[in-house]
Amino acid sequence: MSAGSAEFSLPIRVYIEDTDAGGIVYYVNYLKYFERARTEFMRSLGYDKAALPEEDLMFVVSKASLQYRDPARLDELLEVTAQVISVGGATLTFVQSVNRAGECLVDGEVVIALVSTLTGRPRRLPTALRDRIGV
């Protein structure tokens, strides 16, 4: 049993493209923020697409859940976190949050799965990836 990866954090500025007519960040867009943080977390491990051992593998999101506590607004500078809390045969489970000045605005959980691009079937996570994530 593992204690999970370290928490990774990415600063993200809110632009007008992220907002809606309610004057706040459109709630759908927090999933984009979450993904940017996961992507940079993987990159920080030296793990971008080029690092996948075979051409026909890709990560897909299999589950996502979010809880909205307080809205972010235009021009604010946010911190978006990503942390792996568990690893399955073909999946990684992240907990993630969007924070402003230490206050959590949105948090959630995202499960991603490694699949074959040819068959869409799950594929076992490479050992090298598990090692780099440290879980």
The residues that are catalytic are: 20
CA–CA separation, 36 and 47 (whole Å): 14
* Cβ at position 65, least distance to a copy of itself in Å: 4
Nearer to a copy of itself, 32 or 100 (CB): 32
- Count Cβ atoms within 10 A of the Cβ of residue 36 and give its class: 0-12 exposed, 13-18 middle, 19 or more buried: middle
Nearest residue to 88 via CA among 119, 114, 116:
114
Q: Specify the residue, 113 or 133, whose C-beta has the smaller distance to a copy of itself.
A: 113
Query: What's phi and psi for 37, nearest 5 deg?
Result: -65, -40
CB of 101 to a copy of itself, least distance (A): 17
Q: What is the DSSP letter of 105?
A: E
Give 1 or 81: the residue with its C-beta nearer to a copy of itself: 81
Question: Of 51 and 128, which CB lies nearer to a copy of itself in the complex structure?
Answer: 51
Q: Which helix (H) or strand (E) holds 135?
A: none
Closest approach of Cβ 17 to a copy of itself, in Å? 5
User: Least distance from C-beta 131 to a copy of itself, angstroms?
Assistant: 22
Quick check: helix, strand or coil at residue 43? helix
Task: Tell me which residues touch a copy of itself (CB under 8 A).
Answer: 15-17, 19-24, 26-29, 31-32, 35-36, 39, 48-49, 58, 60-68, 70-71, 73-75, 117, 120
